Structures are given as C-alpha cells and as structure tokens.
Amino acid sequence: MHKATPPPQPWRGLLPVLAALLTACGGSVTAATAPATSNRWTLVWSDEFDGAAGSVPNPAHWNHDLGNAESSGWGNHEFQYYTANARNAQLDGAGMLVITAEKTSNPGPCWNSKPCEFTSARIHTQGKVGFTHGKVEARMKLPAGQGIWPAFWALGTDLATAGWPRSGEIDIMEFVGKTPNTTYGTLHGPGYSGAQGIAKPREFGAPVASDFHTYTIIKRPNEIVWQVDGVEFHRLTPAQLPAGGTWVFEKPFFVILNLAIGGDWPGAPDATTPLPARMLVDWVRIYKEE
C-alpha cells in the first residue's frame, strides 16, 4: 500500500513474530529462533475482532493514521481522508472488523488543496505488534468498484529513521477495482520501489470480491513467500533483486490494514463505484515457525 505514518511517503500502489521478540498488547513475548523451513507453525498473536458491535479496533493492538493533505495524499494522490471515527473502522459484533469508505462532505483537506470527498480508515500495529520472521495472514472479503484500493501490508519499524523505501515494504495483498479478478503481492526496497516494485499478480478467474480469501506471507531469513488460500504464487530472495537493489527485510515490521479511494494506480472512483465500500477482516494472525 505504501506510505505509513510519517512522510516521506512510499508509493503504495506498485507496493512479525520478532525473531526473538514479539511486542504485543503493550507487553513482550520471547520466542526462540526456529528452523527456517519446518512448515510447523505456532500462533503467537492474533486479533479475532470479537467485540461489541460498533466498538473500535482494540487500541492495545492498533493505531490510526489520520488525514490526507497532512501526508501529501499518502504519496499516491489518494482521495480519502483517514479518520479514527467508528463509522470508518468498527467491529460488527459478529467477529469482523469493518473498514468503511464513504462519500462525505468536507471531512478535511486533500493533497490538491480541495476538500476531500471521502472518509476511510488506515490502522496499523507500529509500536504494539511486530514480526521479523514467521507467517502473517488475514482472512478478508474485499469491496469492488472503480477506484477502490484495499490493502494488507507491512512496513519496517525503522520507517521514521530510515525513510521509505529503505525501511522496506511488503504488500501482502493489494486489490484495485479496475482488475476485479486479480490481487497483487509486491516488494519495495532501495532500487526497486514505486513503479519498479517487484510485483506478481494472483489471478482468481472470478471476481475477488465475491468471497472471503486468506492472504499470507511467510517471511524467513532471506526469503519471502506470498500465498492466497494456502497456495503459493510469489517468492523472492536477495538473489532476485535487480542490480544495485538492497535486501532490507531482516528486521522487525509492523502490519497495516487500509481502504483507500482513488490514487495513481486505481484511478478515481466514478458513478459506477458502489459506496459505501466495506472491507471485512475476519482475523489477522502471526505465527512463529518451529
């Protein structure tokens, strides 16, 4: 998705179990480094979104990014103004997080000095939950429509000091309404960021938004694997980087969920775009490998 808390903003569209430490819910859990390819997993953190209808995401797990113009349109000329309002991110009382993008009247300024026309939410676990290696996945049902741009992704926890793309970005899942049968997994780092991000499409052969799917990465030393519904479709190692590219992924990352409207990649919404648009998240889970 790109661009997280402070600028400089990454270019999101062509966008842990800490190896020895997981920070979650304000505490910490120490976990031993596991063999690299056991394919045996132990759950170390999850948010199942079991809470009262209308309640906000657990603040022990999630922070909100806010605004639009304040972050230069999130680096992608997006049209939504992110809020912490429960209208934009709340539990439905049936075990789901619902992130809602809706048309509204002037919630705040957009990057183009005009009032934004939409609100939505972008939540992340920075400073609360992180991973260095392990398996990270979410079960989600995505909204459809022109200009719709939901994402499940991760940024290095050193974003504020290293800047983007040196912080590294792992787009676990991105979806744009103009390619309704396809999601994307992408890696961004020094020498392969923005439009040069190393991306691979996952073709469904049917509308992605018609059902729930589980989107996963497996992050091992010097390897990242992408899966949908347990089936691998993309794998990268340092040897596959372009000449001059730097692998910056052997460090902690945090998780991001958001629903953007418009931007350089998906294009603007139009009269056919179904609004409000709702992104349903059944759960987010992080595992260590035994």
Q: How far is CA 282 from the centre of its chain?
A: 15
Query: Which of 78, 117, 169, 289 is the catalytic position?
Result: 169
Q: At CB < 8 A and 24+ separation, what contacts does 240-246 make? A: 240/198, 241/189, 241/191, 241/192, 241/198, 242/191, 242/192, 242/196, 242/198, 243/191, 244/191, 245/189, 245/190, 245/191, 245/192, 246/166, 246/189, 246/190, 246/191
User: What is the spatial distance between Cα 242 and Cα 233, in angstroms, rounded to a whole number?
Assistant: 20
SS3 36: coil
User: What is the spatial distance between Cα 147 and Cα 137, in angstroms, rounded to a whole number?
Assistant: 25
Which one-letter amino acid corresponds to residue 51?
A: G
Residue pair 240/213 in contact (Cβ under 8 Å)? The answer is no
Query: Which of 117, 137, 174, 289 is the catalytic position?
Result: 174
Q: Quick one: which of 131, 123, 127 has its CA closest to 58?
A: 123
Active site residue 174: yes
For tokens 């990454």, the residue is 10
Q: Which residues are catalytic?
A: 169, 174
